[in-house]
């Protein structure tokens, strides 16, 4: 049962990553900085990613410590409770650097869950 729940949560995170990719496809950092709508959409997706990550079982998190689960949820808290402190330059950096890495890790974890 836990495996099914974890799998669903991972799929939801993957969907949010795909949404962020769609929100930001073909735009530059400068255009992102000037577009409040895209900023808010991306931040909502990051908030959702953090919420889903928080609910993944401790066992799966321990098994896949290559994912920075605590940092993902920590950023969710900042977006949810201290939005005015969010630096959009850091958000852009996360889009460019962290999300591709997270996406690759999730693909691997999901494959492992499906094959077990």
Residue 81: CA count within 13 A, CB half-sphere? 8
Residue 116, domain member (yes or no):
no
Q: How many domains does the chain have?
A: 1
Domain that holds residue 31: 2-111
Active site residue 101: no
Question: pTM of this prediction?
Answer: 0.92
Residue 53, domain member (yes or no):
yes
Active site residue 81: yes
pLDDT tens sequence across 45-59: 999 999 999 999 999
Of 17-26, 55-64, 71-80, give the lowest mean pLDDT range.
Answer: 71-80
Check if the beta carbon of residue 105 is closer than 8 Å to that of residue 98: no
Using CA atoms, how far apart are residues 50 and 72, in angstroms rounded to an integer?
Answer: 5
Catalytic residue (choose from 81, 101, 104, 111):
81
Both tokens of 88, joined, read 């959009």
State the CB neighbour count (10 A cutoff) for residue 99.
Answer: 19
Catalytic residue (choose from 2, 76, 101, 111):
76
Check if the beta carbon of residue 53 is closer than 8 Å to that of residue 72: yes
SS3 27: coil
Above 70 in pLDDT, residue 104?
Answer: yes
């Amino acid at each position: 049962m836990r495996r099914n729940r974890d799998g669903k949560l991972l799929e939801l995170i993957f969907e949010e990553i795909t949404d962020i990719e769609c929100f930001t496809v073909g735009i530059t950092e400068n255009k992102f900085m000037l577009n409040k709508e895209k900023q808010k959409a991306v931040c909502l997706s990051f908030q959702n990613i953090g919420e889903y990550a928080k609910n993944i079982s401790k066992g799966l998190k321990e098994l896949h410590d290559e994912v920075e689960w605590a940092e993902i949820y920590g950023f969710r808290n900042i977006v949810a409770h201290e939005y005015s402190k969010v630096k959009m330059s850091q958000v852009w950096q996360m889009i460019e650097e962290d999300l591709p890495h997270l996406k690759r890790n999730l693909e691997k974890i999901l494959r492992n869950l499906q094959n077990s």
